[in-house]
Amino acid sequence: MILTVTLNTALDITYRVPSLRPHGSHRVSEVTERPGGKGINVARVLAALGHRVTVTGFSGGATGDEVRTRLADEPGVTDALVPVAGATRRTVAVVDEQTGDTTQLNEPGPLVTAAEWAAFQDAYEDMLSGVAAVALCGSLPPGLPVGAYAVLVRAARAADVPVLLDTSGEALRRGLAARPDIIKPNADELAELTGSHEPLRATQDARRRGARTVIASLGAEGLLARTPDGMWRAAPPARVHGNPTGAGDSAVAGLLSGLAENLPWPDRLARAVALSAATVLSPTAGDFDRAAYRELLEQVEVGGEGGAA
């Protein structure tokens, strides 16, 4: 079983409009709502790949109730969210059907108290028993200490559970000091962390700071991985166009599933890139096009070599 942690869960709302115009009034052609937050997106993809997955994090208020109701309809996903008094946030994505561009509006999330955070830590440590891997994903809601992910990384390591950290800013910096097995920053997050805009140098610096493996997401150029076993680049066969919402989360799911299945790094990276591209091609934000995934998986280009990195 794989555990995903989304401390700042959300109800994701997607509006599709014929054309998005600033300061204008718009008629919405389609509305979709689904449980969201990075770890929940990861869990959905993992379940589609055939893995048993449990989601945890915080849930509160009417929006939190709606998230949990909808989670019950997600096949293969077990809800282990921890209740809080504050209201779960909503995120709104507005998709311009003419250009394919997406405008994202993200609420901050509920104020989590010290007692609620302590209760979550107890529940999380109990969940680690028997887990094949854990993913810690997304932003921190108000009230949590900036070192919250570092605490959760250390608990996973103490339980001998491989842990992937996918966050940004100071939460990433603090979490890195706890020595996660994998981090997956995008190019901007990696540059902010290390001060270097050159990915090869930045991944090396991030490993020196504590990460066992650094996988940099380079957008349309795919992934750059610096691991204890070597370095690899993986890229889709061609640039794909569509809605990128959730593409990074699908890449995380590919990496986690490959870890759980003990696949070699080139196969893990090919799966992550294919899932990410297939998510961009999906008409629904955060989902992936199954047929495109199968086709892309055979076409992803992985280059590099093993050896100490």
Catalytic residues: 249
Long-range contacts of 298-301 (CB under 8 A, 24+ apart): 299/236, 299/237, 299/274, 300/222, 300/234, 300/235, 300/236, 300/237, 300/269, 300/270, 300/273, 300/274, 301/234, 301/235, 301/236, 301/237
Dist. CA 215–CA 176, nearest whole Å:
13
Strands 82-83 and 53-59: parallel
